[in-house]
Amino acid sequence: MAFYFTEPSHTFSEYLLVPGYSGTDCQPQNVSLKTPLVRFKKGEEPAISLNIPLVSAIMQSVSNDTMAIALAKEGGVSFIYGSQSIESQAAMVRRVKAYKAGFVVSDSNLVPDNTLADVVELKNKKGHSTMAVTDDGTANGKLLGIVTERDYRLSRMALDTKVSEFMTPFDKLVTAQVGVSLKEANDILWDNKLNSLPIIDKDQHLDSFVFRKDYESKKTNKNELLDDKKRYVVGAGINTRDYAERVPALIEAGADVLCIDSSEGFSEWQKLTIEWIREHYGDSVKVGAGNVVDADGFRFLADCGADFIKVGIGGGSICITRETKGIGRGQATATIEVAKARDEYFKETGIYVPICSDGGIVHDYHMTLALAMGSDFIMLGRYFSRFDESPTNKVMINGQYMKEYWGEGSARARNWQRYDLGGETNLKFEEGVDSYVPYAGSLKDNVGITLIKMKSTMCNCGALSIPELQQKAKLTLVSSTSIVEGGAHDVVLKDSVASRNQ
């Protein structure tokens, strides 16, 4: 006879936090959102921790190198999507690791015979205003000059004007030699009132740039998440098919943490993948696994050696796994049960395996609920897909700007590896949809608002850290009527009146 859970599964919207006592120290600026990303032993520190409990989903429409850089600046981690070639995924990882080493390899390069039209096209493509002019147009060619926005005016120059006519030539540049320290390079920038400093070798070949904005970035991004070489931390998704080729390429490119991207993680395929990584890399390579929705799934992946475990099946806004297959569980219930299993595992083994709530987030307060229910951090797709930094197009739909957003199980993504159950290598039916989400602007602005809401709620609960929130939180189920009561009701909103009068 089948096993029946006696309690229904619940979503985040069915819960509210009940306030607890808050002292005078319970102020948002005193709250720490630091949280472990990977497993650790009792009494030890995790190899990687997040400064904020947010990571971006392993999706084509969410996590590329641009998103990874923006999120790392705020203290979180992106997992660059794996449903692409090994070479292109590794290249994205390299771009993230190169971005904030202080010494940045130039990826916007010209030759003297290029034109102003080429400059405009390159700027639109790469987004960079500083471009190196080298003899062969490569990042390591002989440096002949640089082009910045101060070197040209589109309103007064013909687009066919050659770069050699308006670039700042080498003999007018301030440069530094390879071997200069980052501190010395920054001193040269400031002493000479420069925005960029080319670093060259003894033969005048370009090595890298040091930018003033990177120095200032540290001042404005106090939570940025850096590795021991002062580079941004970045994750990458892998699958259970080509890991023997993909993992070495990603590790060589500099990926700090990997995650098996699968709709359902309670399987031998994930065990075999983790075993291969441990056999070839030991514990030096960190890899998360999932997704699971109960204690049995957690225990299986924890015993396999997963460094963190993702929770959630079918709760994503573009996921239709529950609709097509009847598989899944309410995200709140799944998070609560898996968190309990994690705590029991820690008591038994002395090993803490962080869990990540993945899916089911509709409102910002759902994130705080997920943390209170035991999640160590949260993976978000729709939330991040709305921002400038996501890799999708911004389009106008019915007078409103929208961003494209599609699931990995959609016909558009055709990421069959994520739903792989063995056998033929193709997608038999869809488990995701192709959609739009309202455009929301920059990541930094939106994440800042989300985090202040999170910290304020934690203060209402008398908690100044995520572990303290999980200890002190009091949660109550709500009725459908009280959900209505929680919003604006029994009034006529001014915006509604204004729209009728237009």
Residues identified as active-site: 319, 418
Residues 485 and 265: their CA atoms lie apart, in Å, by 38
Q: What percent helix, strand, coil does the chain show, rounded to 5? A: 35, 20, 45
Residue 260 forms beta bridges with which residues?
A: 238
Q: Phi-psi bin for 479: left (phi > 0), alpha (psi -120 to 50), beta?
A: beta
The 3-class secondary structure across 323-366, one letter per residue, is: HHHCCCCCHHHHHHHHHHHHHHHHHHHCEECCEEEECCCCCHHH
Long-range contacts of 325-329 (CB under 8 A, 24+ apart): 325/431, 327/264, 328/293, 329/9, 329/293, 329/294
Strand partners, 402: 395, 438
Spell out a b/e string for 239-271, using b for 16 or more CB atoms within 10 Å of the CB, else e: bbeebeebbebbbebbbbbbbbbbbbbbbebbb
Q: How far apart are CA 346 and CA 342, in angstroms?
A: 6
